[in-house]
Amino acid sequence: MSEATSEPDVDFPAETDYEVGQDNIRPFGLDIHNPVFVVSSLVVVGFVLYALVFQAQASEFFGWLRPWLTNQLDWLFMSAANIFVVLCLALIVSPYGSIRLGGEAAEPEFSYAGWFAMLFAAGMGIGLMFFGVLEPMTHALYPPLGVDPADEAAARSIGMAATIFHWGLHPWAIYAIVALALAFFAYNRGLPLTIRSAFFPLLGDRVWGWPGHVIDTLAVFATLFGLATSLGFGAEQATAGLDYLFGIAQTDTTRVVLIVVITAIALVSVVAGIDAGVKRLSELNMILAFALMLFVIIAGPTWLILSGALDSAIAYAQALPALSNFVGREDQAFMHGWTTFYWAWWISWSPFVGMFIARVSRGRTVREFLICVLLIPTAVSILWMNAFGGTAISQYFDQGLTGVAQAVSDWTPELALFLMAENLPFTAIVSAVGIVLVLVFFITSSDSGSLVIDTITSGGKTDAPVVQRIFWCIFEGLVAITLLIGGGLAALQAAAIATGFPFAIVLLVMCVAIVLGLREERRILVAARTAAAE
């Protein structure tokens, strides 16, 4: 425990004597938390076997599940996401913003460059590649909020604003809530780096019992299926690129082989560890991603992209209240097909991204942490979407090129990036770089995800045997394969939404725990400073 936590505590339950891994079992040289590892691993293995053996039934079930969840639970996902944004912005300007993660003497372990690289690689790398061209064009052709698609200027504006809405403040607020809770309770309270620790202010030592087991098990399921969705998108886009460049057919066999190969490469990164593996791959991806974005800005409609970034930011701010509202909406297809799915997907990803961000964010103040995790990624997403989506929109509206628009109409989303690149110089090189980026994002996501799931299922240990991370890395790939075979992208989306639903409730309760924790920490710090001054 830190020195600060030795002070009398009025809001927290009594300090815990729990030690990381004390409830673990160690069969065959493993170091696993019982029952979280046992229950989650058995359920995942059972799911894989069921979906592979009964493919027709699984496909039918997932086809029904996705629209039912988005139609029935839109109010929950949208309300929760709005709450997360408001809380993050309030904490930035509150006195709690000066609290340092790890204590007043803590220093950051990573430079800003390395930190930002890992944030983006883990946070939404594959998604930016998959939707960067597709989504702005889709919303420009079929605009939300009742905008007339015949009004070209309005359609372009709301198309970009709606895209940024899905990739800006709301998703990063979801990640920030989980990451802040984990980092604070681990580094300032000395609790295990696992989801259940965030609920200690509310549950006390009961977090080490069945309530904590349920929370951590839900986190494992959410992480695994949210990650599988991203890996499925990556596999779809990479196989489309291989077909586009080399004529390799887009079949289930190709997708399975690709996932297997990339998972095998991810295993090498898993064995190398976070510094040698994830960090280096993340930095490589950051360089490639910004090089590709810079090329698109230069080779595309440069002035339109740069000026459009500011215009779309303003349009985003103006449309934010309407897009965030779920009452009385007439654009139900947009709200359910896009927004509700996105919020569920981000929530299901939040244990993975949140824990990964927490692991690399020690030494940052709460204010610095939230500004960097919330506002800077939003700014970069605005520039990214304008570079890729803005170029595609310009090709259609200004040049009469219909390739990307046709991909939207035919719903072949995996081709959008390559059809946009078709009208740029060095098409083959741009497409090849795009494929490489998707694959490296694939590797870093799989690597980071296995690291996070292993931490949860080992009771918060960050140095558990590598073989456990290998197990989860393999099963991440198997779940992605199973969902693709058992229903394609619809199955992947249904799984993400299904696991995001219970975890949305977990995150809402986590908000209360964060405020309680930060309030008590500030009380202790103020008392200590007053005593020192006297």
pLDDT tens by residue, the chain, 534 residues: 333 333 334 345 545 556 665 677 777 667 787 788 889 888 888 887 887 787 778 778 877 887 888 888 899 999 999 999 999 999 999 999 999 999 888 888 888 777 776 666 555 667 888 899 999 999 999 999 999 999 999 999 999 999 999 999 999 999 999 999 999 999 999 888 889 999 999 998 898 889 999 999 999 988 888 888 778 888 888 899 999 888 888 888 898 888 888 888 888 777 766 555 566 776 777 788 889 999 999 999 999 999 999 999 999 999 999 999 999 898 999 999 899 989 998 998 888 888 878 888 899 999 999 998 888 888 889 999 999 999 999 999 999 998 999 988 888 888 999 999 999 999 999 999 998 888 887 787 777 778 888 888 888 776 777 788 888 888 888 888 887 776 666 777 787 788 888 999 999 999 999 999 999 999 988 888 888 777
Domain 3-40+52-103+114-533 annotated CATH 2.60.40: no
Residue with tokens 């991203």: 230
208 neighbors 119 (Cβ within 8 angstroms)? no
Q: Domain boundaries in the chain? A: 3-40+52-103+114-533
User: Phi and psi of 25, rounded to 5°?
Assistant: -115, 155
What is the rounded distance in angstroms from the CA atom of residue 403 to the CA atom of residue 393? 11
| pTM, 2 dp | 0.88
**Alpha-carbon separation of residue 279 from 14, 97, 350, 494, 504 (angstroms):** 38, 27, 19, 31, 29
Residue 405 burial by CB count (10 A; 0-12/13-18/19+): exposed, middle or buried?
A: buried
What is the rounded distance in angstroms from the CA atom of residue 379 to the CA atom of residue 309? 9
121 neighbors 285 (Cβ within 8 angstroms)? yes
Angle at 127 between CA 441 and CA 406, to 5 degrees: 120
